[in-house]
Amino acid sequence: MTVDKQAPASGSIMVVGGGISGLTTALEAAEVGYEVFLVEKNPYLGGRVAQLNQYFPKLCPPTCGLEINFRRIKDNPNIKVFTLAEVEKVDGSAGNYEVSVKLNPRYVNAACTCCGECAKVCETEVPNDFNFGMDRIKGAALPHEMAFPARYVLSPRIIGTEDARKCKEACKYDAIELDMEAKTITLNVGSVVWATGWEPYDANRIDNLGFGRYQNIITNMMMERLAAPNGPTGGKILRPSDDHAPQSIAFVQCAGSRDENHLPYCSYICCMASLKQATYIRALYPDAKIYIFYIDLRAPGQRYEKFYNKIKEDENVFFIKGKVAEVSEDPESKNITVVAENAVTGEKIHQTVDLAVLATGMQPTAANVRLPADLKYTEDGFIINDFEKGGMFGAGCANKPADVVSSNQNATGMALKAIQTIAKR
């Protein structure tokens, strides 16, 4: 152990990212008595999990899990949550970091009761990123139904407009502060856990799969939003071109995954996600035909395999071993034809469906923009944990593609690593 590692250390832990992994790390550390700063760039906590309709394999909604975590945060004075916050710079070394955090203005203070009067008077609508742009929301809105903190947020787009003034006037609680400004604060912490999560791989980049060109080709994450009761269609899965209920759906597995031209690795969850989404369709439209085109179906572990076997029994779900490499659209009906070779029979299949879902993989957030800290990454942007050096750790999907269970296990481990960094002083 080197001498400078024994420099006086701060007893606090910073967790960057308020998704399921970040929540877990923050809570595990805080509940054994450590002070934790939880930094989240969105105006709400919950991350990607909050966007799901159901978890696999139990098929419970994300409120199951997120709610209890929010409750634990509320009850725990050790956790300080910063939303709309981004880490700008990390200086120092293990045990002694100085972190600059930029706090973006929410324009709404803690007095907000979620009465919704501001949204009623606001006329401007902005694309809803939470629903992947499939609908629009008011310039003053609650990010989503179960947003935590439960507080409205004003879009920067309406600031300085007539709309903003109307919103302020409509608020009975003086909760809207239009003069809020971005500010940067400095926090001293002993260790930093990066739970910066993932982005769905940009399907527009997969030229041969037609996303962005044909309306009725969506991604698996868009399917989650369509199936979610708080989604753009209120939980009805409707195809984008005409809002009709699809009677046939194709799932295109490994869309841009395990592919040198895109993401060279397997994202671990997409096979299970598509099997799960087959159950969404089955529940809504019992007669719909579901075609799953795959290279190999990966359902790791006994529980996932059981789930897969259950779906296999469904006579309306067809599994075709062969990757879809070509798609086309019928200009009249807007139906999609996917083309694959069935590698078992050696016949090319041209399957026309109402809706096609691209099972795209996860790309670590750091793949596109590196994090403002001295970290090591794999070629694909996943954080490589250097336990020798210590101090900063990647958790959850920032570290490797994983499902919720594995992310939580990993995040718990990283909470311990963060604690060890501090306890070593």
Partner 1 sequence: MTERYMVEPDVGFINEVIGLGGQDLKKCYQCATCAVACPISPDNKPFPRKEMIAASWGLKDKLVGNADIWLCHNCGDCSTLCPRGAKPGDVLAAVRSYAIQEYARPKKLADMINNPKKLPVLMAIPVVLFLVIGLMAKLFGLHWLDITPNGDSIVHAKFIHSTLVDVVMIPTFFFSIGVFALGLRRFMADIHKDALICGKTDKEKIDPKGFVEALVKVIPTVLQHKKFTECGENAERATSHMMVFFGFLGLFIVTNIFFVVMYGFGIHGPYSQLNPVKWLGNIAGVSLIIGAALMIKDRITKDDQVSAYKDWFIVVLALALGLTGMLTQMTRIGGAACMSYSIYLLHLICIWTFFISLPFSKFAHIIYRTVAMAYMEYSGRK
**Residue among 247, 269, 249, 251 nearest 322 (CA):** 251
Task: Kindly state the smallest distance separating residue 241's Cβ from partner 1, in Å.
Answer: 24
CA distance 139 to 160: 12
- Contact between 35 and 12 under an 8 Å Cβ cutoff? The reply is yes
- Contact between 57 and 34 under an 8 Å Cβ cutoff? The reply is no
Paired with 336 in beta bridges are: 329, 353
Secondary structure letter of residue 241 according to DSSP: T
Pick 45 or 324: Cβ nearer partner 1 = 324
- Please give the C-alpha separations between residue 103 and each of 83, 192, 261, 273, 413, in angstroms, as whole numbers: 8, 18, 37, 34, 28
Q: Which residues contact 275 (CB under 8 A, 6 or more apart)?
A: 56, 292, 297, 299, 307, 308, 311
Task: Kindly state the smallest distance separating residue 230's Cβ from partner 1, in Å.
Answer: 36
Q: Is the dihedral of CA 298, 299, 302, 308 positive or negative?
A: negative
Pick 113 or 208: Cβ nearer partner 1 = 208
Q: Which residue has the tokens 């997120």?
A: 66
Q: Is the dihedral of CA 44, 47, 51, 55 positive or negative?
A: negative
Pick 83 or 363: Cβ nearer partner 1 = 363
CA distance 195 to 15: 7
Task: Kindly state the smallest distance separating residue 339's Cβ from partner 1, in Å.
Answer: 5
Task: Kindly state the smallest distance separating residue 126's Cβ from partner 1, in Å.
Answer: 37
Pick 261 or 309: Cβ nearer partner 1 = 261
Task: Kindly state the smallest distance separating residue 202's Cβ from partner 1, in Å.
Answer: 17
Pick 170 or 266: Cβ nearer partner 1 = 266
CA distance 47 to 39: 12
Pick 84 or 206: Cβ nearer partner 1 = 206
Task: Kindly state the smallest distance separating residue 360's Cβ from partner 1, in Å.
Answer: 14
- Catalog residues that contact partner 1 under the rule CB under 8 A: 208, 254, 258-262, 295, 321-326, 339-343, 346-348, 350
Pick 106 or 262: Cβ nearer partner 1 = 262
Pick 159 or 349: Cβ nearer partner 1 = 349
- Please give the C-alpha separations between residue 129 and each of 43, 85, 138, 144, 414, in angstroms, as whole numbers: 12, 17, 12, 11, 30
Task: Kindly state the smallest distance separating residue 341's Cβ from partner 1, in Å.
Answer: 4
Pick 184 or 345: Cβ nearer partner 1 = 345
Task: Kindly state the smallest distance separating residue 379's Cβ from partner 1, in Å.
Answer: 15
**Residue among 256, 259, 262, 269 nearest 224 (CA):** 269
Task: Kindly state the smallest distance separating residue 396's Cβ from partner 1, in Å.
Answer: 26
Residue 381 region, left (φ>0) first, then alpha (ψ -120 to 50), else beta? left
- Please give the C-alpha separations between residue 280 and each of 6, 47, 127, 200, 381, in angstroms, as whole numbers: 54, 21, 25, 20, 32
Report the interhelical angle of 220-227 vs 270-284 (nearest 10°). 30
- Contact between 8 and 188 under an 8 Å Cβ cutoff? The reply is no
Pick 85 or 206: Cβ nearer partner 1 = 206
Task: Kindly state the smallest distance separating residue 347's Cβ from partner 1, in Å.
Answer: 6
